Chains A and B, each alone.
Chain A
């Protein structure tokens, strides 16, 4: 058996970090599947360190105001708004 062991408690912890509630049966099913999938991912241990070529370049444009969505368009898909703002549940 692999060193990876994923129990229900660990699945619940990750679900909390990811802000996704899970039903009890989902927690159990994921625990079994995650153990199998993560064991498969462990083959990555065999990968040698490889230097990747850094071919990234920053793409910049002049810092000028351009056309964008107006406030009404930006809010159009929100379930609740107030005075031109998104309205969400309280933070804590």
Chain B
């Protein structure tokens, strides 16, 4: 029986030689592929064919990878189970009665099932780490600015990064080596001013020498050497989690301590408000980003008569699914007159608070640890009716996106045959530290 991991199965061959020669890669369907349709899991973009490749897709091709298809996903990345796709839900290959997680559920399922060696997802509030945890594979959410977002169909610009999924930490890190780096076509990728900071020749977005990925080797960091590493356990995120998840998490920490790591408890007061802040910011950005789907430039038009506003509103009624409409409307509400200060401004305060809290915790520890997901993978259809409960499932992953930090999810064990993920969070551009610690979890 098919997992429905792909929306479009089409082989895109890369160059002959490169770091990923002979490797197959599934690419999430919100990452543009020239000449191959890119739907974002939405009926709105059913026939959209991008005229250009995303930078990460160019880099995959240059590295010799073969792209095997466009992976299923929650519509526009909005969901945590890959059940909001207009192309039907994906099944979890570990247990097909359960969801694979989301929104990059097709990417993680393809890797877990062996339908691709590697995959790219995008992580706005946990969308790479969540399905990696639920499918028993490895997923990395890079530091904001490490990987180009050019060609990623935007949902919430200030939060999302493209990230790798693989069956081992080393393979995920090797894929990160390929896709990271500066990109003059994306101003959100990191660059540093030259010494003068005067707008001189060093001050361009394409200044390779200034990008953190230039001198890095993430795959080499997967050496399993965790001795002497201080791991901060975020106690605030254990309280609401499933007991069986916490037990599995604690057992993995025991194992790391046996390998020479030291653990300390850290508390982040701000995380209590992170989910609210995340959803207000993500929905607000979504309400603006998705305004481009008007059925005129792209998107299904429906061929409606009448004035522009009426035709636009009817095309969007037809083209968008329920969760997308819910988020556009809530985002519009949060930004509307009279509510901006109450919701959006307060969410930005919470975001700054979360960042500060993480900085303080990372002064005490090299990396931070939490369970990736506080629950086990729900059964298909089980959680769809209550959007708020689904939002609460993101409690452990969204703080990382608010703080623009890197994090990895690595399999920590199983409960009743269902995978549990351990999340390791690092300082800004500290990808090597989280890769190293995660590789020790595998050992």
Contacts and interface: CB of A to CB of B under 8 A. Distances in A.
A50 interface: yes
Contact of B276 (A34, A40, A49, A61): A40
Q: How large is the interface on B (under 10, 10 to 19, 20 to 34, 35 or more residues)?
A: 35 or more
A19 B292 CA distance: 11
A19 B309 contact: yes
A39 B387 CA distance: 13
Contact of A18 (B203, B287, B314, B356): B287
Contacts, number: 155
B204 A61 contact: yes
Given A59-B205, A88-B308, A18 B329 contact: yes
A15 interface: yes
A65 interface: no
Given A18-B329, A77-B49, A79-B295, A44 B343 contact: yes
Contact of B187 (A46, A59, A76): A59
Contacts of B349: 47-50, 52
Nearest to B353: A50
- Chain A interface, DSSP helix/strand/loop, else mixed: loop
A41 B309 contact: no
Contacts of A73: 51-52
A52 to B, nearest CB: 4
A84 interface: no
- Chain B interface, DSSP helix/strand/loop, else mixed: helix
B199 A60 contact: yes
B379 interface: no
Given A37-B388, A91-B307, A17 B49 contact: no
Choose among B47, B300, B322, B330 the residue with the greatest number of A CB atoms under 10 Å from its CB: B330
A47 B251 CA distance: 35
A53 B314 CA distance: 42
Given A18-B287, A45-B342, A89-B310, 14 more contacts: A19-B316, A21-B314, A33-B326, A36-B388, A38-B330, A41-B343, A45-B346, A46-B273, A50-B350, A60-B203, A61-B206, A77-B297, A77-B298, A88-B311
26 contacts: A11-B329, A14-B333, A19-B313, A21-B316, A22-B317, A33-B326, A33-B387, A36-B388, A38-B330, A41-B279, A41-B343, A44-B273, A44-B343, A44-B346, A47-B277, A47-B346, A48-B353, A51-B352, A52-B355, A59-B191, A60-B203, A69-B52, A73-B51, A78-B296, A89-B304, A89-B312
A-B CB proximity, top 7 nearest: A52-B352, A21-B317, A88-B296, A44-B346, A73-B51, A77-B298, A50-B352
